[in-house]
Each structure stands twice: as C-alpha cells, then as structure tokens.
Amino acid sequence: MAKKLYVGGLSFDTTESTLREAFAQAGTIESLAIITDKVSGRSKGFGFVEMASDEEAKKAIELLNGKEMDGRKLTVNEARPRESRPPR
C-alpha cells in the first residue's frame, strides 16, 4: 500500500524533477506534488511524495530527512491526515 510523505523545507528553486530524482533513490514514486501559492504560483516550501510501499517510504525518510537540497535542510516524515477546518 502506498504511503504519503510530507516534505518540508523546500527551496523556492526546487522543482518536481529535482525532488523526483532524490526520492527515486528510495524506490518507486506513485505521485509527487510541490504545493504552490494560488495567486503567485510560487512554491510554498513544502510538498508531498507518495511512495509505492511502506518500506520505500521508511527508506526515503532515512535517506532524506535532514539532508540538504538546494541550500535548505529537508524535513521528511509521514503525512498526517488533513484536519477539517470550519467553513469560511
């Protein structure tokens, strides 16, 4: 079963292809997204990577958590479910 990972501390210069290249070292990537601002289109500095298995997700955390990418130290851990927010 696929495991979704949170990736924080991304540089504004980090691209999806750079992130894909780094996480491919740990295994098969099911999906990958860098979260961007709706207005400016600029990266918000975090994203999500979904690995094919729990083992590959654990390997990705071990390999990349605390490592430097594009001059910034990454935070990689299991993504938590999105919290429900009150309507605006």
Query: Domains in the chain, ordered, with CATH?
Result: 3-78 (3.30.70.330)
| pLDDT of residue 82 exceeding 90 | no
| pLDDT of residue 88 exceeding 90 | no
CA–CA gap between residue 17 and residue 19 (Å, rounded): 5
Task: Give the mean pLDDT of 15-38.
Answer: 95
CB atoms within 10 A of CB 32: 18
pTM for the whole structure:
0.89
Q: Structure tokens of 13?
A: 């210069």
pLDDT band at 75 (very low <50, low <70, confident <90, very high): very high
Burial 40-57 (b: 16+ CB within 10 A, else e): eeebeeebebbbeeeebb
Does 60 or 83 have the greater pLDDT score? 60
